[in-house]
Structure 1
Amino acid sequence: MATSTAPPRPLPPDLTAYALAHGLTVSGARPGLRQYVHQLWSRRHFVAAFATARLTAQYSGARLGQLWQVLTPLLNAAVYYFVFGELMHTKDDVSDFVPFLVTGVFVWSFTQSTLMAGARAISGNLGLVRALHFPRAALPVSYALQQLQQLLISLGVLAAVLVCCGQLPRPSWLLVVPALALQTLFNTGVALVLARLAARTPDLAQLLPFLLRTWMYTSGVMWSVAQLVRGDSVPGVVRVLLECNPAAVYIALVRYALIDSYGTAQLPAHVWALAAAWALVAGAGGFVHFWRAEERYGRG
């Protein structure tokens, strides 16, 4: 029996018009910014559950388990106290040096851990990125939420240390809430930027610890920025850079809220405006920067 083969149907000359006419879209195409925000919000329960699961599993292999969430910054504070407070006599220039140091270490650790985790959010989850379709921003945002949860656990230990050092609770402690909220927005924005950069250049995750260590030493974690910039030995440009350093700004706000002897004279000028500006620029700018590469994550 003879069979007839029909000639192949020619492709339409305008494939774009053909796709639009039949409701076809590019797989993995980047949605509009507004739609992207809506998609991310619709997956907020996944973000929260993912962050909580990672926090629970973070120290599951250690004998002390979740205690390392607070032991790590406390041990760091002890080392810094010995090196900077005792050997370099930094404590002689700072009132209530132990509360000053412990508060700085806890607040800085929040920024440091968020940025380190954000840098690995995409490159460390390539299997998940390639297997499922979801807004990729959910990963760095969930990592930032995980670090916030860890900080909230650590705040109880910080409060206990402050009380033991004579810093009793007072109404100004409530200022910690807006200060940490602004810091969280700032950290999340920078984590989004690092997630995009590290997704293309994985070696950034190896370089980042050195960059963060340098940033820590210029942020007044172990020494007072206010004491340094008060003299004439610091050039004006350096003084502005030190006072406007976002990490130093958030550390100063939390110290002002929690420590009696840390007054307004030790705060940079317009400190709340600085904190809000850094949070807005980093948060919005980092989100848009990450969204612009949405269709490229997990490819190549």
Structure 2
Amino acid sequence: MSDRSAQEWRLIRDDPRDGATQMALEEVAAATAIEDDVRTVRVYSWEPGTLSLGYRQDAETVDWEYCDREGIGVTRRQTGGGGIYHDRYADISYTIVAPADEVPGNLMACYELFCEPVLEGLRRMGVDADFASVEQDAIYQPSCYLRDINPAHDVVVPAESDDERKISGNAQYRQRDVVIQHGSISYDREPARHVGTFAADLETPPFVDRVASIREETGIDRDEAVSTLADALGEWCDARESTWREDELEAAADLAERKYGHESWILNGEELEEAQPDVPGR
């Protein structure tokens, strides 16, 4: 594993964007890591509110009428797992992108490494968080926050207690020799919208019993929580403050239209054509 301080990392405190663009930007960051030797950590939010489906999730699990009525977008992630409702308030999302040969090849070791700044950020907020100590059975498998809790990559509070509740889900995928990890952290709970996006007879109490939030645990302001997480990510890899380049944003807009916002991908996880982002070098 390489010394992160000897590599070029950038920290992006991103703007709220639609779900298709947020997912496209991850692929663009992967291309930048390979072609320009620049690694990325970022924090971001979603606008409008969006349901991100797991890669293999059946589109029939979505309540499309509810999402349309509530103005909730739908996209599909490259990672597996259950669907997650994101928005610009209740959810805080992050991404870490680095070449695969610079991180552990073992999946669990890579999760442990990439979750270091996430756990550190939560601790700085006053949240007693850690990886789950025991597995918990699923309440509703198609939902990320209601599926089984896995000690390998699910973060819970309070740490090592008999009443662990999930506060963050994290997932990884590899593309073009790059490892991409993204995660959703619960700042506040939106149980009605979380369960409402699914075409199932779900009630809100099980969600409330299973899921914790930063706001509930510490009461800190959301902007402070986002800033604290971003600082922890940046310090973890000694990243410089940065923003997306114009060519990256253009490539992401094109990829969002051709892939992450296209019906064939959202409904079936199928690409109509080869959709690697074309990101010119600097």
Query: Which is richer in helix?
Result: 1
Same fold (TM over 0.5): no
TM-score, normalised relative to structure 2: 0.33
Query: Which is richer in strand?
Result: 2
TM-score, normalised relative to structure 1: 0.32
Q: Which has the larger radius of gyration?
A: 1
